[in-house]
């Protein structure tokens, strides 16, 4: 099988290259090259280990906007390598990954939570899961924020003020709607800055302009429609064309009305 072939090829690698391969596979996503070297405890032999893995097409590197990243050459390579790592060695590798990411000062809190959880450090994982949830809520990603708050609460090792605060934050209206799968949490975000709300539709039909918050009949134009965003009046209705007779000629204009005698 392909997985067995990958594992045999990895087993033939030098120890430094094998450590680097384990780190890259357990990272779960593209990893900054310097972080990978630190997590694998590589120094002078780092470039040689990288070249060995490139030579057998187990990893690949790419240049991002500011640094080089490394990742497995294919997802099946990642799965095969992870399947061959002993549980205790995987735990230690996740621990080294979390420490290296923290030292880089550019780590994503959700990524730190994942590695600390896999390393068995529940308290640190809960802290960074809550931090990632706050960032998701600020970005209006409410479903993701609710999921991360629940994760932070599950990882909290003992009840206390922190757990109570997490329950309070998870009980906010947006988190409750997200947990229930309410579609309003995945559509337009709450309007801020005192802006008007968009008219909503219901079983009674679309909401009229006079039902918008902060509007009145003075906010409508001559045709009963709201003023445009630029403040201009709504356009005057176009004149209808005169009806024509069957012969194609326009009918004669009617004379002045004769007042009753």
171 within a domain of the structure (yes/no): yes
**CB atoms closer than 10 angstroms to residue 130:** 24
Query: Hey, what are 140's tokens?
Result: 């209006």
* Confidence (pTM): 0.62
pLDDT single digits (tens) 24-53: 999 999 999 999 999 999 999 999 999 999
Task: Specify the CATH number for the domain of residue 69.
Answer: 1.10.10.10
198 within a domain of the structure (yes/no): no
**CB atoms closer than 10 angstroms to residue 136:** 20
Same domain, 68 and 149: no
Q: What CA–CA distance (Å, rounded) separates 208 from 199? A: 7
pLDDT at 156: 77
Domain count, the chain: 2
Per DSSP bridges, beta strands 59-63 and 31-32 are: unpaired
260 within a domain of the structure (yes/no): no
Residues 6+ positions from 175 with CB-CB distance below 8 Å: 142, 145, 146, 149, 169
Task: Give the range among 13-22, 74-83, 87-96, 218-227 with minimum mean pLDDT.
Answer: 218-227
pLDDT at 143: 87
239 within a domain of the structure (yes/no): no
Q: Calculate the average pLDDT of the chain.
A: 75
Query: Hey, what are 116's tokens?
Result: 């600390």
Q: What CA–CA distance (Å, rounded) separates 110 from 116? A: 10
pLDDT single digits (tens) 65-114: 778 999 999 999 999 999 999 999 999 999 999 999 999 988 899 999 99
List the beta strands (DSSP E) in 107-210. 201-202, 205-206
252 within a domain of the structure (yes/no): no
Provide the domain limits for residue 87. Answer: 1-106
Domain boundary among 77, 106, 135: 106
Residue 170 near residue 149, CB atoms below 8 Å: yes
214 within a domain of the structure (yes/no): no
Torsions phi, psi of 207, nearest 5?
-70, 135
Query: Hey, what are 182's tokens?
Result: 């309410």
Same domain, 132 and 166: yes
56 within a domain of the structure (yes/no): yes
Domain boundary among 79, 106, 133: 106
Domain boundary among 184, 218, 246: 184
């Amino acid at each position: 099988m392909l997985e067995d072939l990958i594992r045999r090829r990895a087993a033939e690698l030098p120890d430094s290259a094998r450590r680097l391969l384990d780190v890259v596979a357990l990272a779960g996503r593209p990893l900054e090259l310097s972080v990978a070297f630190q997590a694998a405890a590589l120094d002078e032999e780092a470039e040689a280990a990288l070249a060995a893995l490139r030579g057998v097409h187990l990893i690949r590197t790419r240049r991002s906007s500011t640094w080089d990243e490394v990742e497995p050459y294919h997802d099946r390579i990642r799965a095969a390598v992870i399947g061959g790592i002993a549980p205790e060695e995987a735990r230690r590798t996740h621990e080294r990954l979390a420490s290296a990411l923290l030292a880089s000062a550019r780590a994503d809190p959700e990524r730190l939570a994942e590695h600390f959880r896999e390393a068995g450090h529940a308290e640190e994982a809960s802290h960074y899961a809550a931090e990632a949830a706050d960032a998701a809520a600020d970005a209006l990603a409410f479903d993701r924020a609710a999921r991360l708050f629940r994760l932070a609460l599950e990882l909290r090792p003992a009840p206390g003020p922190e757990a109570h605060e997490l329950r309070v934050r998870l009980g906010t209206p947006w988190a409750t709607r997200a947990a229930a799968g309410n579609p309003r949490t995945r559509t337009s975000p709450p309007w801020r800055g005192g802006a008007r709300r968009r008219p909503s539709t219901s079983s009674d039909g679309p909401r009229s302009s006079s039902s918008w918050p902060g509007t009145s009949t003075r906010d409508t134009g001559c045709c009963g429609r709201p003023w445009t965003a630029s403040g201009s009046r709504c356009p005057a209705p176009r004149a209808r064309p005169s009806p024509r007779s069957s012969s194609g000629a326009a009918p004669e204009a009617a004379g002045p009305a004769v007042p009753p005698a």
